[in-house]
């Protein structure tokens, strides 16, 4: 097939909030930008499918301090106050820009002032697409990236992929690349997350980049049984019940371990009976998608019990991702930047989930910084930015090292068997994680030798390889953290260890490594 060849200053992989903010600000910085989305930019991804809160805090010192305090203990004291302050500043400016320049229809409160701490996802992404196109960004829809390109020095120099509708491979030579491809939900069917298969992390690792916080990846969202809507904020108003009608003590919207344990024995039911009339009206206004399934089933969730389940959301609602090493969200590889859920969110959340609000703020801020940083880096290369000789970096799932003939569906099923069950990934224990990791290592060895494809098949095989890589980084990191900190809970190590108050970096493909970011001093351990 003939390959579509393009050149650009900056290439952005992804089409959600982080990707569109990155493309917008790279273009505003004078860069020629190409953005490629696995789906249709503006409608695909977790945010476009529903709505999200935003970590939007006015610049009042007390309010900002309280906002940063709220995640400090939950995150195991691994967050960075300087980064949190930067995100609060940037998010405040960009959301205000949405309100004024993009005329975003924020709802008004009782006092008539706009409530800017939430975004209606479909409208948000629709307007971001308009802003991106107006800025001159070339958008490639339905064009998943399958690999990165590098120059002879190892610096990232573009990307390649496949245009599904045109049935044509493409290649973009670029001065810099921003990975904003989202996290990995392992095709669990969480709403809007089937495009989130961890591709960006695989691309980054193949280029030599590092990851961080991959043990903070056991996020599960509550959803009504038989649905995919994992919007969990409203379960703070819930009472949970066993199948026999007794109250499930200790269960809450935040504390889901009792729910997971009970689901291993039988069904769990829920009722949002702690919400008063004012809260109920506000909930329907804030997240109309949350109530669609109930309305279709004829259930009043405030008055009637309904069965629930837990759906794995991995690093979409988790925290781990590509490690960034500078204020402009550069990675450890020259020319490569990361933003949104593809990047670690430990800097603002520590080891606790970013949920919607923190992750949404991180997407806005990191996307803005990564776009600007990528534009500056590309500009520093001068006229050679798009004309460098390039090497394709994709291997696992693309160019098998053996005879080929592998089936991506078998790989995905094997990975899901190890990462979706609650008793493996959520209720973690060393004696369970160890054999699960051994199975995943075998899956990886097999796919490296046998899994490959071209055209549309290459998209599927690369997704399978990315999921397998993601699972191995997760479990290797989880085994290395022999304590319970943030959302990385270990049943065999139920308490935090002051000496492990550090982040864990990981990387590698055939051989996965894990190392602490730094050693905690005695004074820090005692504090």
Cα-trace Rg, the chain? 22
pLDDT tens-digit map of 138-164 = 999 999 999 999 999 999 999 999 999
How far apart are the C-alpha atoms of 424 and 470, rounded to whole Å?
15
| Residue 370 confidence (pLDDT) above 70 | yes
Mean pLDDT score of the chain, rounded to an integer?
A: 93
Q: Which of 31-45, 190-204, 281-295, 334-348 has the lowest mean pLDDT?
A: 281-295
DSSP state of 426: I
CB-CB contact of 152 with 132 (8 Å) = no
10 Å CB burial of residue 171 (0-12, 13-18, 19+) is: middle
Continuous segment of H or E residues that includes residue 52: strand 51-53
Number of residues written out for the chain = 527
Give strand pairing partners of 145: 161
Q: Which of 178-192, 204-218, 284-298, 485-499 has the lowest mean pLDDT?
A: 284-298
Token pair, residue 106, equals: 């924020």
How far apart are the C-alpha atoms of 373 and 29, rounded to whole Å?
9
Residues 6+ apart with CB under 8 A from 513: 476, 506, 507
Closest residue by Cα to residue 23 from 128, 137, 130: 137
The tokens 């939430």 sit on which residue? Answer: 118
Quick one: pLDDT at residue 292?
87
| Residue 129 confidence (pLDDT) above 50 | yes
Helix boundaries (H) for 174-287 = 199-207, 257-263, 277-286
pLDDT tens-digit map of 232-252 = 888 999 999 999 999 999 998
| Residue 1 confidence (pLDDT) above 90 | no
The distance from CA 147 to its chain's CA centroid, rounded to whole angstroms, is: 19
Give strand pairing partners of 269: 241, 307
Number of Cβ atoms within 10 Å of the Cβ of 340:
34
Q: 70 in helix, strand or coil?
A: helix
How far apart are the C-alpha atoms of 49 and 54, rounded to whole Å?
16
Ramachandran angles phi, psi of 470, nearest 5° = -60, -45
pLDDT tens-digit map of 69-99 = 988 999 999 999 999 999 999 999 999 999 9
CB-CB contact of 509 with 393 (8 Å) = no
Token pair, residue 102, equals: 């993009």
Quick one: pLDDT at residue 525?
45
Give strand pairing partners of 53: 118
Token pair, residue 105, equals: 């229809």
10 Å CB burial of residue 152 (0-12, 13-18, 19+) is: exposed
10 Å CB burial of residue 490 (0-12, 13-18, 19+) is: buried
The percentage of residues in the chain with a pLDDT greater than 70, rounded to a whole number, is 98
CB-CB contact of 207 with 315 (8 Å) = no
How far apart are the C-alpha atoms of 393 and 266, rounded to whole Å?
47
pLDDT-derived band of residue 284, with 50, 70 and 90 as boundaries? confident
pLDDT-derived band of residue 520, with 50, 70 and 90 as boundaries? very low
CB-CB contact of 487 with 355 (8 Å) = no
Quick one: pLDDT at residue 283?
84
Quick one: pLDDT at residue 230?
86
Task: Give me the mean pLDDT over the 298-315 stretch.
Answer: 94
Task: Give me the mean pLDDT over the 114-129 stretch.
Answer: 92
Task: Give me the mean pLDDT over the 110-116 stretch.
Answer: 88
How far apart are the C-alpha atoms of 157 and 11, rounded to whole Å?
9
How far apart are the C-alpha atoms of 152 and 68, rounded to whole Å?
43
pLDDT-derived band of residue 514, with 50, 70 and 90 as boundaries? very high
Residues 6+ apart with CB under 8 A from 135: 23, 24, 27, 28, 33
Give strand pairing partners of 268: 242, 308
| Residue 174 confidence (pLDDT) above 60 | yes
pLDDT tens-digit map of 412-461 = 999 999 999 999 999 999 999 999 999 999 999 999 999 999 999 999 99
Ramachandran angles phi, psi of 456, nearest 5° = -60, -35
CB-CB contact of 195 with 187 (8 Å) = no
Quick one: pLDDT at residue 255?
86
Give strand pairing partners of 120: 51
Continuous segment of H or E residues that includes residue 221: strand 219-224
Quick one: pLDDT at residue 523?
45
| Residue 55 confidence (pLDDT) above 60 | yes
Task: Give me the mean pLDDT over the 374-388 stretch.
Answer: 91
CB-CB contact of 190 with 369 (8 Å) = no
Quick one: pLDDT at residue 521?
43
Token pair, residue 298, equals: 């004829």
For 276-372, strand residue ranges (E) read 306-313, 321-322, 336-338
Domains of the chain: 4-217+316-392 (3.50.50.60), 219-314 (3.90.700.10)
pLDDT-derived band of residue 22, with 50, 70 and 90 as boundaries? very high
How far apart are the C-alpha atoms of 502 and 450, rounded to whole Å?
38
Quick one: pLDDT at residue 430?
97
* pLDDT: which is higher, 465 or 527: 465
| Residue 13 confidence (pLDDT) above 90 | yes
Pairing mode, if any, of strands 336-338 and 168-179? parallel
């Amino acid at each position: 097939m003939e390959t579509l060849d393009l050149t650009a200053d900056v290439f952005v992989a992804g089409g959600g909030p982080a990707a569109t903010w990155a493309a917008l600000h790279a273009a505003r910085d004078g860069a020629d930008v190409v953005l490629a989305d696995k789906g249709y930019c503006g409608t695909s991804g977790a945010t476009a499918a529903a709505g999200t809160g935003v970590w939007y805090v006015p610049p009042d010192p007390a309010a900002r301090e309280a906002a940063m305090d709220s995640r400090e203990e939950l995150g195991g004291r691994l967050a960075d106050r300087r980064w949190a302050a930067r995100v609060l500043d940037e998010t405040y400016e960009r959301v205000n820009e949405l309100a004024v320049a993009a005329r975003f229809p924020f709802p008004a409160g009782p006092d008539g002032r706009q409530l800017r701490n939430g975004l209606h996802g479909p409208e948000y992404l629709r307007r971001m697409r308009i802003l991106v196109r107006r800025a001159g960004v070339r958008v490639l829809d339905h064009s998943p990236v399958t690999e990165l390109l590098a120059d002879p020095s190892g610096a990232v120099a573009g990307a390649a992929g496949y245009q599904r509708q045109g049935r044509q491979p493409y290649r973009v030579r670029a001065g810099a690349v921003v990975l904003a491809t989202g996290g990995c939900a392992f095709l669990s069917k969480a709403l809007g997350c089937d495009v989130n298969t961890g591709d960006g992390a695989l691309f980054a690792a193949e280029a030599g980049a590092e990851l961080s916080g991959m043990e903070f990846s056991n996020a599960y969202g509550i959803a009504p049984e038989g649905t995919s809507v994992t919007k969990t904020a409203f379960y703070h108003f819930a009472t949970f019940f066993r199948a026999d009608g007794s109250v499930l003590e200790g269960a809450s919207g935040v504390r889901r371990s009792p729910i997971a344990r009970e689901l291993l024995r039988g069904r769990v039911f829920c009722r949002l009976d702690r919400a008063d009339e004012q809260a109920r009206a506000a909930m329907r206004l804030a997240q109309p998608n949350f109530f669609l399934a109930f309305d279709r089933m004829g259930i009043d969730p405030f008055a009637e019990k309904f069965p629930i389940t837990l759906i794995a959301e991995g690093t979409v609602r988790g925290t781990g991702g590509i490690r960034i090493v500078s204020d402009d969200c550069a990675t450890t590889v020259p020319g490569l930047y990361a933003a949104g859920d593809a990047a670690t969110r430990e800097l603002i959340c520590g080891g606790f989930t970013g949920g919607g609000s923190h992750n949404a703020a991180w997407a806005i801020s990191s996307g803005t910084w990564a776009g600007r940083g990528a534009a500056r880096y590309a500009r520093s290369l001068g006229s050679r930015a798009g004309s460098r000789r390039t090497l394709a970096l994709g291997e696992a799932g693309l160019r098998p090292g053996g005879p080929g003939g592998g089936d991506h569906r078998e790989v995905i099923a094997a990975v899901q068997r190890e990462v979706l069950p609650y008793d493996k990934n959520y209720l973690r224990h060393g004696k369970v994680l160890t054999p699960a990791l051994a199975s995943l290592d075998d899956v990886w060895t097999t796919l490296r030798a046998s899994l490959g494809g071209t055209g549309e098949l290459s998209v599927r095989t690369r997704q399978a390889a990315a999921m397998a890589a993601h699972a191995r980084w997760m479990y290797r990191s989880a085994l290395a953290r022999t304590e319970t900190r943030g959302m990385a809970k270990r049943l065999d190590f139920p308490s935090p260890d002051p000496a492990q108050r550090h982040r864990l970096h990981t990387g590698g493909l055939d051989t996965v490594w894990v190392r602490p970011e730094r050693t905690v001093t005695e004074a820090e351990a005692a504090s």
